[in-house]
Amino acid sequence: MSTWTEDELRRVGDAEELRVASYRRDGSLRPYVIIWVVRVGDDLVIRSAYGPDNGWYRRAKASGRGRIRAGGVERDVEFADAASDGPAAHAAIDAAYHAKYDRHGPRIVGTVVGDEVIETTFRLVPTGT
């Protein structure tokens, strides 16, 4: 399994937005969707605003793999389910979202923090080179 370099973690973690696409069964890439991303330690984390019925989230969960673009970095990734990472991990993820995006206001940031979104949390695990 591959890991993020410090440069990739910084560049993707500092990016305002991330583009994410999942792979179809035939190996083709779905269209990219723009979402928020946070860095927590050596992990890059994404969550589905508006819950598990969000289209990009459903497709990513079904596929388990995709591709991301942010901060000049483009990598294939595995969407690793982070729901069971525990309360401390999710508190750190919430804190990272607040630190990075609170300027957008509580109504918007509220869609990606709290207990309601824990089940829609993915760690992005780089694959390949």
- In what order do the strands lie in the sheet containing 65-70? 33-35, 18-22, 65-70, 73-81, 121-127, 43-47, 38-40
pLDDT along the chain (129 residues), means of 10: 90 98 96 97 95 94 98 97 91 97 93 94 90
pTM: 0.94
**What pLDDT is stored for residue 83 in this prediction?**
87
Q: Which of 36, 59, 56, 34 is nearest to 46 (CA)?
A: 36
